Chain A
Amino acid sequence: MKLSLNWLRDYVAHGADNELLAHKLTMAGMEIEGVENVDGDTVFELEITPNRADCLSTIGLAREVSAIFDKPLKEPKISVPKIPARKVSISIADTEDCSLYLGTLIEGVTVGAAPEFMGSRLKAVGIRPISNLVDITNFCLMEYGQPLHVFDFDKLEGGRIEVRRARKGEKILTLDGVERELDPSVLVIADAVRPVAIAGIMGGKNTEVGPQTKNVLLESAHFDPILIRRAARKLGLSSDSSYRFERGIDPAGVARTSDRALQLILESAGGKAAGHGKAGSTAVKKAKAVTVTHEQVGSAIGMDVAPARIKKIFKKLNFTVEESARGIKVCPPSARRDIKDPVDLVEEVARVIGYDNIPEAMPVIGENSIPSNTQRALRNRIRELMLAQGFDEMVSFSLINREDLERARLNSKDVAAIINPLSLDQEVLQPSTLPSLLPIVRTNINRGQRDLSLFELSKIYDVRGQEKEVLSVVMCGLARQDWRELKKRPVDVYDLKGALAQTLERCGLTELRYALVDANIYQAKSGVTVAVNGRSLGSFGSIHPDILQNFGIKNTAVYYAEVEIPYKDFVKSARRRFSALSQFPGVTRDVSLAVPQEVPYQDIADMIRREGGDLLRHVSFSEEYLGDKIPAGQRGLVFSLLYQSTDRTLTEDEVNAVHQTLLGKITDFFSATIR
Chain B
Amino acid sequence: MSWDFQQIKQTLREDAAAVASPRELEDFRIKYLGRKGLIQEIYASLADAPKDQKPIIGKEANDLKKMATALVEERKQGIGSQPGKAQRQLDPTLPGVAPRVGHKHLLTQTIEEICDIFEGLGFSIQEGPEVETEFNNFTALNIPEDHPSRDGFDTFYTNVKDRTSKDANLLLRSHTSPGQIRIMQEHTPPLAVVIPGKVYRPDAVDASHSFMFHQIEGLLVDKDVKFSHLKGLLHAFCKKLFGPDIKMRFRPHFFPFTEPSAEVDISWKGGKKEWLEIMGCGMVHPKVFEYAGYPKGKYTGLAFGLGVERMTMLKYGIPDIRLFYENDLRFLEQF
Contacts and interface: CB of A to CB of B under 8 A. Distances in A.
Interface of A: 26-29, 31, 49-52, 225-226, 229-230, 246-247, 299-303, 341, 343-344, 346-347, 350-351, 355-356, 358-363, 365-373, 375-376, 380, 383, 386-399, 416-422, 426, 429, 440, 443-444, 447, 449, 452-455, 459, 461, 463-467, 480, 482-484
A370 B191 contact: yes
A70 B84 CA distance: 96
Given A368-B190, A399-B212, A418-B158, A361 B329 contact: no
A181 B293 CA distance: 45
B252 A365 contact: no
B23 interface: no
Contacts of B332: 392-394
B254 interface: yes
23 contacts: A29-B251, A225-B146, A229-B148, A301-B227, A303-B228, A343-B259, A344-B259, A347-B260, A350-B227, A355-B250, A358-B228, A361-B229, A362-B236, A363-B233, A365-B190, A369-B188, A392-B105, A416-B131, A420-B156, A421-B156, A461-B131, A466-B131, A482-B97
Contact of A355 (B124, B156, B159, B252): B252
Contacts of B251: 26-27, 29, 31, 355
Given A300-B227, A388-B101, A429-B131, A368 B123 contact: yes
B165 interface: no
A461 B159 CA distance: 13
A171 to B, nearest CB: 25
Contacts of B103: 387, 392-393
B333 to A, nearest CB: 7
Contacts of A371: 124
Given A363-B232, A387-B101, A443-B328, A399 B259 contact: no
A419 B327 contact: no
Given A49-B253, A393-B332, A301 B228 contact: yes
Contacts of B124: 368, 370-373
B130 A370 contact: no
A53 to B, nearest CB: 8
A449 B189 contact: no
A129 to B, nearest CB: 29
Nearest to B225: A363
A467 B129 contact: yes
B229 A302 contact: yes
Nearest to B115: A376
B158 A416 contact: yes
A376 B127 contact: yes
Nearest to B254: A49
Main SS of the interface on chain B?
mixed
B229 A363 contact: yes
Contact of B159 (A31, A347, A419, A467): A419
B304 interface: no
A178 to B, nearest CB: 23
A301 B188 contact: no
Nearest to B255: A49
Interface of B: 94-95, 97, 99-105, 107-108, 112, 121-127, 129-131, 146-149, 151-152, 156-160, 169-170, 172, 183, 187-193, 198, 200, 202-204, 211-212, 220, 222, 224-229, 231-233, 235-236, 249-254, 259-263, 283, 285-286, 300, 302, 324-330, 332-333
B148 A52 contact: no
Contacts of B172: 418, 429
B198 to A, nearest CB: 7
A373 B122 contact: no
A464 B162 CA distance: 10
Contact of A230 (B107, B108, B146, B200): B146
A549 B241 CA distance: 45
A398 B300 contact: no
B244 to A, nearest CB: 14
Instruction: State the 4 A-B residue pairs at the shortest beta-carbon distance, nearest first.
Output: A302-B228, A365-B122, A29-B252, A49-B254
Given A366-B190, A368-B193, 12 more contacts: A27-B249, A27-B251, A51-B149, A225-B148, A226-B147, A230-B146, A299-B224, A355-B252, A359-B228, A362-B232, A393-B104, A418-B158
Contacts of A443: 326-328
Contacts of A225: 146, 148
Contacts of B183: 370
Contact of A420 (B101, B131, B202, B286): B202
B211 A383 contact: no
B243 to A, nearest CB: 18
Instruction: Pick from A226, A360, A373, A387 the residue with the most CB of B within 10 Å.
Output: A360
B158 A390 contact: no
A619 B306 CA distance: 52
A533 B254 CA distance: 51
A376 B112 CA distance: 11
A230 B170 CA distance: 21
A20 to B, nearest CB: 15
B177 to A, nearest CB: 16
B159 A416 contact: yes
A416 B160 contact: yes
Nearest to A458: B198
Given A29-B254, A365-B123, A459-B130, A300 B327 contact: no
A500 to B, nearest CB: 14
A341 B158 CA distance: 35
A290 B44 CA distance: 118
A38 to B, nearest CB: 23
A352 to B, nearest CB: 10
B9 to A, nearest CB: 20
A526 B329 CA distance: 27
Nearest to A375: B127
Given A50-B147, A370-B124, A392-B103, A449 B159 contact: no
A373 B193 CA distance: 11
A426 B211 contact: yes
A393 B108 contact: yes
Contact of A343 (B231, B249, B260): B260
Contacts of B151: 50
A548 B105 CA distance: 25
Nearest to B197: A459
A373 B325 CA distance: 26
Contacts of B191: 368-370
Nearest to B144: A226
A455 B327 CA distance: 11
A370 B126 contact: yes
Given A299-B224, A368-B192, A371-B124, A396 B325 contact: yes
Contacts of A301: 226-228, 260
A431 B68 CA distance: 66
Given A370-B126, A390-B99, A422-B204, A300 B226 contact: yes
A383 B253 contact: no
Contacts of B302: 363
A395 B127 contact: no
Contacts of A426: 156, 211
A583 B113 CA distance: 45
Nearest to A376: B125
A483 B94 CA distance: 10
Contacts of A418: 156-159, 172
Contacts of B104: 383, 387, 393
Contact of A483 (B95, B188, B252, B300): B95
B53 to A, nearest CB: 24
Contact of A373 (B127, B192, B222, B285): B127
Contact of A391 (B102, B249, B326): B102
A211 B222 CA distance: 67
B235 A360 contact: yes
B260 A350 contact: yes
Contacts of B225: 363
A274 B172 CA distance: 56
Given A398-B198, A416-B160, A28 B220 contact: no
B102 A393 contact: yes
Nearest to A362: B232
